Amino acid sequence: MSKNLLDILKEDSVKDHEYEDERLISNIYLCSLSTSHRELARIAELLKGITDEKKQEDYEDKVNSNDWLLNRNIRIKDVNSINFDKIPKAAQIDNSQSADALIIDYNNKKCFLIEFKNCSKSTLIDNYIDGKDSVIVKYKNSKNIIKSINVDGFDSESIISQTEVALVYNKNDSAGSVTASFPAKRITTKDSNNKQSRATTKRNKIGSACKYKFEMGSTKKRTEDSINSFRKKVKTLGFSSCCLLDRKQTNVAILGADDFSDLINKGIFEQIDWGIYKSFVSDT
């Protein structure tokens, strides 16, 4: 018989964790780390006595990249959460990758399941929405985990329909956008002796510009199709519409870091009432 979540958190709270990002009761900053503290410590140990500048730079990049959300909003350390991708091991559920963070609004009977990706929007779509590493697998696993462990205060059959799902990425880029700048070509003129006299740059004819627009427009449509297909897959899992995390009330809130920071500034997470879990959260 599987343990309930409250017992799992109680057992973890008395453990002496070497690294703070390995605790189950955590915060959004620790849940969003690109590289774990244990892995950073391992790399730092390997680099002792090594003067390879490239390896040192790579290590520093890993350290700095962990602050991709913190650099947007220092208040992310104040947003408490359960370090959900550590739950499978604690609950002795084998080979199950889950989303990064779970926030429980106990008295309002609402949960928030969040996956973090420190990448651009185009990489998010190529690798984690369309690609073989699609986070839909993590959402499916998370659903099964939530239902298999008894989340105290929630009915195991209805908790999924009470859970909003979010996917947070680092930054927007040109994925799917149409640029107003079109390729130009070099025009040369020649004199009577057939020698080049001057060269000028001329914007391409409207036909080429339209073709370029069409190609970029096609990319934008593919991006929209990918996101819509992903939303439909999430919808089949039975999660709640995102009433608080996404004003459009979609089936999954796909948010850039700046948008997520705005939610924090609006106090969305300050309204969370952890209820029976509050004593653990207050210790973080």
Q: 216 near 177, Cβ under 8 Å?
A: yes
Question: Which pLDDT belongs to residue 200?
Answer: 54
**The two three-digit tokens of residue 267, written as one number:** 């106090």
Q: Calculate the average pLDDT of the chain.
A: 85
pTM of the prediction?
0.83
| Tokens 């939610």 belong to residue | 263
Q: 165 near 234, Cβ under 8 Å?
A: yes
Question: Which pLDDT belongs to residue 280?
Answer: 81
Cα diameter, the chain = 93
* pLDDT bucket at 102, cuts 50 / 70 / 90: very high
Q: 29 near 257, Cβ under 8 Å?
A: no
80-99 pLDDT, tens per residue? Answer: 999 999 999 998 887 678 99
**The two three-digit tokens of residue 59, written as one number:** 């290590």
